[in-house]
Structure 1
Amino acid sequence: MIQRIQSVYLFLASIISGVLIFVFNLWKSIKKDIFAMDLLNSESFLLKVIPVLFLVSAILSFVAIFIFKNRKLQFVIGRVTILINLILLGLLIYVSLTLPGEASVSEKGIGMFIPVLAILLVVLANKAIKKDEDLVKSVDRLR
């Protein structure tokens, strides 16, 4: 049901992945702050994939909220969201290690930790979904 704790976790994960990318920067160069949506204008395909993965993660987390009648599918969508965020985290780490102009001052932003928070929330949601599924199975055994 929508009022369950896993729905809260999934909603927070979708807000973190979909909204906070506009608020927190990924890194700061000498000229300006670089946000996730600024990467869509870059030449590199690798950089263009990062905001797309953020949005796909947010959409999947939001869609999983409304699939509460099919807990197995909700659980699988949660796992796919975790996988997408792990790929995103790997991409962000790779890009941050290969940033051009590291001789000049550049700082990593707090936006690099957004996938970690999303992974944590989706893991908590999957744990609650599994708990609900086990409860339903135990009640079915009693019938």
Structure 2
Amino acid sequence: MSMPSRTASVPPRILVIDDHRDFGALVQRVAEKAGYMVRLTDSPDGFRDLCATFQPDLICLDIVMPQEDGIELIRWLAGSGSRAAVYIMTGHSPAFARAAVEIGRSRGLNIAGILQKPVSLATLRDILTAARPGSSLPAAAD
């Protein structure tokens, strides 16, 4: 699966939603070093607003959050016609993450894979580097 194409002069955009701000900030730092323009939120409402205004190429989506289930955000993304590549992130059950992947794909989303927390810095760096335009996304871990 690939991200929507942008011109070479425009950096790819990544949107990260995670209720654990420290982990979200880690993804942000690694993504910025990989050349991404990054937006970070811990709010489902903020996520929806940023999807509309920021138009991300790649989304890192935590599926277990206190305010709203990430599955609801997957449904919202599908309903909004999102073309962004989506990585499902979770520190919980891998089975739940696989179910989220299936739900997203069945609704036509470009689900790129799963980031099982804790994810190593090297793995995160490799995934974000491979996800840049012109690269192939690694196979989903499902």
TM over 0.5: no
Per the normalisation by structure 2, the TM-score is 0.27
Per the normalisation by structure 1, the TM-score is 0.27
Higher RCO, Cα 8 Å, sep 6+: 1
The structure with more helix, counted as a fraction of residues: 1
Higher CA-based Rg = 1
The structure with more strand, counted as a fraction of residues: 2
